[in-house]
């Protein structure tokens, strides 16, 4: 793919249509924040443009925007606040039990800001994918957009990858890239990255779902 001057971003691989799933692909979404990526999935499902059934939202913060969205859209949700759990193991166990009980096929981390352990990954026994706002393997961790800016990168973007025990690693499914303009500010860059995330996440789920059903 060649980045043409008039293009704002580049997405690779180039995926043009979402796979169809019959019955619908049963997913769980793990989110900690605003939930704009979650909303994209809700909207596509509502318009019947994507054959997904969002069985549950799992969130670690009762005040997060994603919980409000789930409430408004009548999507079941489960809040698990780590501070009210005995320890991290207890926190993860509660989430694992909920995921098993929810009868899902694929887990989507869409703004999930907690590191999951190897035990968690092995216990849920489902494929997990994660969206991250950098061009992995560059800028793993908590502040990838700020890190890319401060390190003088000229290009950044977002990635969706399979989750493995090593943080922000695992096989890449799709990436979107954009130029960092001179005098770029973090808010503008964040907004632009979000815009690309909203485009690529459904395609990543579609690809991962295809693998799960194969
Ligand atoms: C997204 O930019 C996502 O890539 C990022 O959190 C944001 C959530 O936005 N995830 C991570 O940083 C995970 N390491 P949203 O709540 O509006 O979907």
DSSP string, 172-187: EEEEEEEE--TT--HH
Confidence of residue 113 (pLDDT cuts 50, 70, 90): very high
Cα(177)–Cα(12) distance, integer angstroms: 9
What is the pLDDT of the chain when averaged over all its residues? Answer: 96
Please tell me if the CB atom of residue 60 comes closer than 6 angstroms to any atom of ligand 1. Answer: no
pTM above 0.85, yes or no: yes
pLDDT tens for each residue of 75-84:
999 999 999 9
- Give yes or no for residue 178 having a pLDDT over 60: yes
- Residue 113 CA: nearest ligand 1 atom is 13
Q: Whose CA is nearest to atom 9 of ligand 1?
A: 111
Please tell me if the CB atom of residue 40 comes closer than 6 angstroms to any atom of ligand 1. Answer: no
Could you tell me if 61 and 32 are in contact, meaning their C-beta atoms sit under 8 angstroms apart? yes
- Residue 130 CA: nearest ligand 1 atom is 13
- Give yes or no for residue 2 having a pLDDT over 80: no
Indicate if 132 belongs to the active site: yes
Both tokens assigned to 187: 């808010």
Q: Percentage of the chain surpassing pLDDT 90?
A: 95
Place of tokens 């704002």: 8
Could you tell me if 199 and 177 are in contact, meaning their C-beta atoms sit under 8 angstroms apart? no
Residue 209 phi, psi dihedral angles, 5° rounding: -65, -40
- Give yes or no for residue 1 having a pLDDT over 60: no
Domain hosting 187: range is: 2-12+21-213
Q: Which pLDDT does position 8 carry in this prediction?
A: 86
Give how many domains the chain has, as a whole number: 1
CATH number of the domain where residue 192 is located: 3.40.50.170
The neighbour count for residue 69, using CB atoms within 10 Å, is: 19
DSSP letters of 85-141? Answer: SSSHHHHHHHHHHHHHHTT-SEEEESS--SPPPHHHHHHH-SEEEEEESS-TTSS-S
Confidence of residue 67 (pLDDT cuts 50, 70, 90): very high
């Amino acid at each position: 793919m060649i980045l043409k001057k008039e293009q704002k971003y580049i997405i690779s691989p180039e995926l043009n249509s979402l796979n169809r799933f019959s019955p619908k692909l049963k997913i769980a979404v793990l989110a900690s924040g605003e939930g704009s990526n979650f909303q994209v999935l809700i909207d596509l499902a509502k318009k019947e443009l994507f054959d997904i059934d969002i069985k549950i939202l799992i969130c670690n913060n009762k005040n997060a925007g994603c919980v409000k969205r789930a409430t408004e859209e009548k999507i079941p949700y489960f809040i698990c606040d780590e501070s009210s759990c005995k320890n991290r193991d207890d926190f993860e166990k509660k989430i694992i039990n909920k995921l098993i009980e929810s009868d899902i096929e694929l887990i989507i981390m869409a703004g999930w800001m907690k590191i999951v352990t190897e035990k968690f990954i092995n216990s849920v026994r489902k494929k997990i994918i994660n969206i991250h706002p950098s061009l992995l393997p560059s800028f793993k961790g908590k502040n990838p957009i700020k890190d890319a800016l401060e390190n003088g990168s000229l290009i950044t973007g977002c990635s969706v990858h399979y989750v493995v025990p090593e943080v922000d690693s695992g096989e890449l499914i799709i990436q979107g890239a954009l130029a960092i303009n001179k005098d770029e500010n973090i808010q503008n860059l964040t907004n632009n990255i979000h815009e690309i995330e909203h485009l690529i996440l459904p395609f990543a789920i579609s690809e991962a779902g295809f693998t799960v059903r194969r």
